[in-house]
Amino acid sequence: MRKKNSVNRITILNIISTFLLQGIAFLTTPIFTRLLGTSQFGTYSLFNSWVLILTCLMGLGIHSSVGTGLYTFKERYASFRSSILLSSSLICVAEIVLVSLCRYWLSEATGFSVGIVIIIAVTAFAHYVVNFVQGCFIYEKKAGRNLILSVSLSVISVLFSVFLIYRFPTDTRYLGRVYGTAITYLVIAVVVWMMLFLEKPTGIHKEYLKYGIAVGFPIVFHSLSQQVLGQSDRVMMQAFGIATAQIGIYSLFYTLSSVLSTVLNALNNSWCPFFYDDVSEEKWNILNKKSKNYIELFTVLVVGFLLLSREVSYLMADESYWNGINVIPILSFAVYFIFMYQFPVNFEFFHKKTKIIALGTIGAGILNIILNAFMIPIWGMYGAALATAISYLALFFAHYFIVKHMQEHTYQLKMTMFIPGLVGMLIGTVLFYVIGSWWYIRWGLGIAIGFFELYRIYKRKSIF
């Protein structure tokens, strides 16, 4: 019982940490939609999209080797961690210099000023460091430290951004949000970098660097393709001449739907360390049972979100945003397909099949760009959302096919275990559209299934 309680405690703290880091951006959206308006909210969303894209290139993805490095370098892990932190940070500095040299071309390509381009690069580096440190805390099961880091980033960045927004003229208020985020991340990144490195100072080590690049570099293409899947819709909407106000409306509902991504990231961060333990010990019967519990939990969360999301939308922004509300179910399906594809991908990560992961995600990213090119000119934001959902579904099928055909490792989780969840998603979508005006029925159903799932968790004494 003590072990199960410890697992639940780590899981809950990691969920809270991830939700605070990503979820407060969602919870504070009503503040920023009103302070910035649709156009400037869209401009900041584009800035953030470029930051997330560039973050994928930072450090050549070496931070991705932390999870498997914990198992590979058991006795030397502390030295390994510090060495790859230093090595990848120096690579990041070189990348910032490269961005600076190409700043005028990048300014023309992104539509931002030269100064903002440099800020994008520095903010991406700060994101990389934060991701590195959080990865260490998660796999080392130091959930308390992860929580402190997340609270600091979330609260300070929001408060500082609001403070700065009021210091800028009305037509450039988005710069307050840009500087508030960039400065907060950079300062905290420097602090946690020093804290982590000084625990076991280690120089550049050839063996560690070689391992980090071998495992992590393919993840650059995986992560970049993920960002193409998640961010290219807004960039391509801009390229096709869609008004920034429309991009702002789409960004609002993308942000609203991303609360599901936030919850998923939180659950997956908690799931992976214990998933790795079960796979390493080949406890497939236990893992199959846990997987079904996980699918049930996330399905209830997404269906509940669909039932409650209309009224939440009204609270998040004024009526100038509401004409995009019907895009929510499509974006919700996209997140659900992400959830599905993480099962085979986590198995690939454990067996260090990062090249395969990258190839699958690159293919989905290319598919997303092609679908965006056809669908955005016809259906606008709805085309962008549909292209994203189809691409993630294709990604799931690709990775599932890969793990089922691995010769040296056996993957024993069946595709059919997702059928009950997909049926639940379809029912939730139908209810979203059919009884959209009957809020009391939707909220009643949402609360009922929520209590049902809480009872199920209480009965089994475990989240998964």
pLDDT, tens only, 199-215? 888 888 888 888 888 88
Give the three-state DSSP class for 302.
Answer: helix
CB of 346 closer than 8 Å to CB of 272: yes
Per-residue pLDDT of the chain (464 residues; tens, 9 = 90+): 445 545 566 666 666 666 665 666 666 777 777 787 777 877 887 888 888 888 888 888 888 788 777 777 877 888 888 888 899 999 999 999 999 999 899 888 888 889 999 999 999 999 999 989 888 887 777 777 877 888 888 888 888 988 998 888 888 888 888 899 899 999 999 999 998 898 888 888 888 888 888 887 877 777 777 766 766 777 788 777 776 677 778 877 887 887 788 788 778 877 877 777 777 777 788 888 888 889 999 999 999 999 988 888 887 777 777 777 888 999 999 999 999 988 888 888 777 777 777 788 788 888 988 998 888 888 888 888 899 899 999 989 988 888 888 777 777 778 888 999 999 999 999 999 998 888 889 999 999 998 999 888 888 777 77
Token digits of residue 191: 């602090």
Strand ranges in 63-125 using DSSP code E only, listed in sequence order: none
Residue 113: left (phi > 0), alpha (psi -120 to 50), or beta? beta
376: containing domain: 2-460
pLDDT at 355: 77
Cα 220–chain centre separation: 15
pLDDT at 21: 59
* pTM exceeds 0.85 for this model: no
Dist. CA 464–CA 459, nearest whole Å: 12
Task: Note the pLDDT tens digit of each residue in 335-354.
Answer: 999 999 888 888 887 777 77
Q: Per the structure, how many domains does the chain have?
A: 1
Dist. CA 188–CA 19, nearest whole Å: 18
Q: In b/e form, how buried is each residue of 37-63, taking b as 16+ CB within 10 angstroms?
A: bbebbbbbbbbbbbbbbbbbbbbbbbb
Token digits of residue 407: 């010769």
